[in-house]
C-alpha cells in the first residue's frame, strides 16, 4: 500500500492590523494571517488509478486511520476490477433523489413541480423495492404503477387506499422515467432502464374532459361578470370588471392562471400592435414570450391599465396560490347560465379558457404550426390532440370544401 499522509489546508487571509476583522489586500493597514483548516485532508488513489483529495475529520490520528482504510478499499476494488461507476450505482437511491430535486430547482422549476416530481418518483421507486440505481428494473416499476390503478395506492393524508386513474399513473411514470434518464445522462447508469417504458392510453379512463366555450358563451360570461359583485378575501379582492377582463384575456391569449397573476402594468403594450409579455421565470416553459392581443379587447384593457402604475399587478393578490381561480370562475359561469357539465361528461373550468383559445384558432382556420407557437407548446401533438376540440359541424364544413368528383368537367 502506498504511503499515506494527512495535513491541514493553509488559507491566507487579510485582516485589519488593529481590529482583526477581514479586509482586502489593498487596505494599507491589512496584514496577512495564515489559518489552518479544522479538518485534515489526504490524497486517495482511487480504483481508476487517479488521485483525489478528500476531506477527513479533525483528529489527526483518526484521519490517518480513516485514510488508510479508504485506501485499502480502493486497492481492493482495483484488484477486483470494480470501477467508481460500479460503486456509484450501488449507492442509496435516496441520495440521488435529493440530488435530482436540487437539479430541478436549479433549472428554475417551481416549488410545486419539484415537490410533486420528487414525491411521485420516490413513491414508485420505494414501492417497487428499489434501493439503488442498479436495482431499477422496468418490470417492477410497471407492476407497481399498475397496482396503483387496479388495487390503489395508500394516501397518507386521507389514510386510505384510493385507485389512481390512468392519467395519474402516467404522471408517476413520467416522473420516474425523467429521474432514470437523468441517471443515465450523468453517467451514473450505463443505460436508461426505463427507456422503453410506454405510457398508458389515458383517454379510455379519463374522468374529466374539458370542452371549449363557444364565442357566444364567452360573450355572455364577459357581459354578466361585468356587473357581478366583488369577490375575494382580505388578501385579495377582484371586482366584476377585473374578473371579466381576466376571462377575456385568458380566452384571447391562452395564458394560464399563474401566468396571468404574474402580469404587471409594464407587461402590456397598447399601440398599433398591442401585446402582452410573459417573463421566462413566470412561464411554464421558462421562456419569455410576447403574445399579440386582438383589437377588440384594447378598449376595456386600456380602461383598466390607465388606473395602474407600471409596477402594479393587473390582478393582484394571492388568488392563484389559494387555488381560487376555478372557484370564482365556476360562480361566474353559473351566474351567466352556462352549463358546467353536459350530458357527455364534458366540463368547463378556468383552464377551459385556454382550451377555448386554441380551439377558436382551429375554427378560424389558423395553421397548426401557428397555433402551436401561440399556445407555446413543445409539440404539435399536444396542441392538436389535447387542446383542440372541434365538433361535427366543423368537420362537415371541411368535407364540403372537397371538389365534386361525380361530374366530369369538360
Taking Cα atoms as reference points, which of 153, 76, 373 lies closest to residue 254? 373
Sorted by where each starts, the structural domains of the chain and their CATH numbers stand as 6-82 (no CATH), 93-205 (1.10.150), 215-396 (1.10.443.10)
Percent of the chain whose predicted confidence (pLDDT) is above 90:
44
CA-derived radius of gyration, the chain: 30
**339, 340, 342, 348 alpha-carbon torsion, rounded to 10°:** 120
Measured between its terminal Cα atoms, the distance across the chain in Å is 98
Q: What is the mean pLDDT of residues 139-160?
A: 84
pLDDT over 80 (residue 101):
yes
pLDDT over 90 (residue 312):
yes
Q: What is the pLDDT of residues 220-272, one digit of tens each?
A: 999 999 999 898 877 888 999 999 999 999 999 999 999 999 999 999 998 87
pTM attached to this predicted model: 0.67
Query: Which letter does DSSP use for residue 383 in this model?
Result: I
Alpha helices in 81-165 (DSSP H): 84-89, 93-106, 111-127, 138-150
Predicted confidence at residue 410, as pLDDT, reads: 55
Contact 374, 361 (CB under 8 A): yes
Place of cell 404539435: 380
pLDDT over 80 (residue 298):
yes
Amino acid at each position: 500500500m502506498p504511503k499515506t499522509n494527512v495535513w491541514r489546508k493553509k488559507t491566507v487571509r487579510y485582516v485589519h492590523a488593529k481590529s482583526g476583522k477581514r479586509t482586502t489586500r489593498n487596505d494599507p493597514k491589512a496584514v496577512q494571517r495564515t489559518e489552518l483548516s479544522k479538518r485534515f485532508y489526504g490524497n486517495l488513489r482511487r480504483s481508476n488509478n487517479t488521485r483525489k483529495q478528500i476531506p477527513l475529520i479533525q483528529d489527526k490520528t483518526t484521519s490517518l486511520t480513516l485514510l488508510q482504510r479508504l485506501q485499502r478499499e480502493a486497492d481492493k476494488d482495483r484488484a477486483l476490477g470494480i470501477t467508481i461507476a460500479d460503486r456509484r450505482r450501488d449507492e442509496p437511491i435516496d441520495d440521488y433523489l435529493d440530488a435530482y430535486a436540487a437539479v430541478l430547482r436549479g433549472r428554475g422549476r417551481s416549488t410545486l413541480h419539484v415537490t410533486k416530481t420528487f414525491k411521485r418518483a420516490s413513491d414508485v421507486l420505494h414501492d417497487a423495492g428499489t434501493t439503488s440505481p442498479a436495482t431499477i428494473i422496468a418490470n417492477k416499476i410497471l407492476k407497481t404503477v399498475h397496482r396503483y390503478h387496479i388495487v390503489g395506492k395508500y394516501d397518507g393524508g386521507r389514510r386510505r387506499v384510493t385507485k389512481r386513474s390512468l392519467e395519474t399513473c402516467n404522471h408517476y411514470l413520467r416522473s420516474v422515467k425523467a429521474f432514470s434518464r437523468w441517471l443515465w445522462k450523468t453517467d451514473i447508469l450505463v443505460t436508461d432502464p426505463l427507456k422503453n417504458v410506454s405510457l398508458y392510453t389515458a383517454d379510455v379512463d379519463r374522468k374529466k374532459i374539458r370542452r371549449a366555450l363557444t364565442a357566444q358563451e364567452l360573450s355572455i360570461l364577459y357581459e354578466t361578470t361585468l356587473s357581478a359583485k366583488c369577490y375575494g378575501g382580505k388578501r385579495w379582492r377582484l371586482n366584476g370588471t377585473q374578473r371579466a377582463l381576466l376571462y377575456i384575456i385568458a380566452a384571447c391569449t391562452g395564458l394560464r392562471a399563474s401566468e396571468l397573476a404574474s402580469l404587471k402594468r409594464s407587461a402590456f403594450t397598447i399601440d398599433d400592435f398591442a401585446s402582452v409579455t410573459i417573463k421566462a421565470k413566470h412561464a411554464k416553459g421558462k421562456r419569455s414570450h410576447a403574445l399579440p392581443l386582438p383589437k377588440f379587447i384594447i378598449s376595456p384593457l386600456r380602461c383598466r391599465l390607465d388606473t395602474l402604475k407600471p409596477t402594479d399587478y393587473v390582478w393582484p393578490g394571492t388568488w392563484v396560490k389559494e387555488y381560487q381561480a376555478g372557484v370564482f370562475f365556476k360562480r361566474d359561469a353559473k351566474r351567466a347560465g352556462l352549463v358546467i357539465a353536459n350530458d357527455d361528461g364534458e366540463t368547463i373550468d378556468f383552464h377551459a379558457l385556454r382550451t377555448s383559445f386554441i380551439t377558436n384558432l382551429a375554427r378560424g382556420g389558423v395553421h397548426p404550426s401557428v397555433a402551436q407557437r401561440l399556445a407555446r407548446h413543445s409539440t404539435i401533438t399536444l396542441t392538436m390532440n389535447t387542446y383542440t376540440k372541434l365538433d361535427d359541424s366543423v368537420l362537415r364544413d371541411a368535407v364540403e370544401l372537397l371538389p365534386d368528383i361525380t361530374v366530369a368537367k369538360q
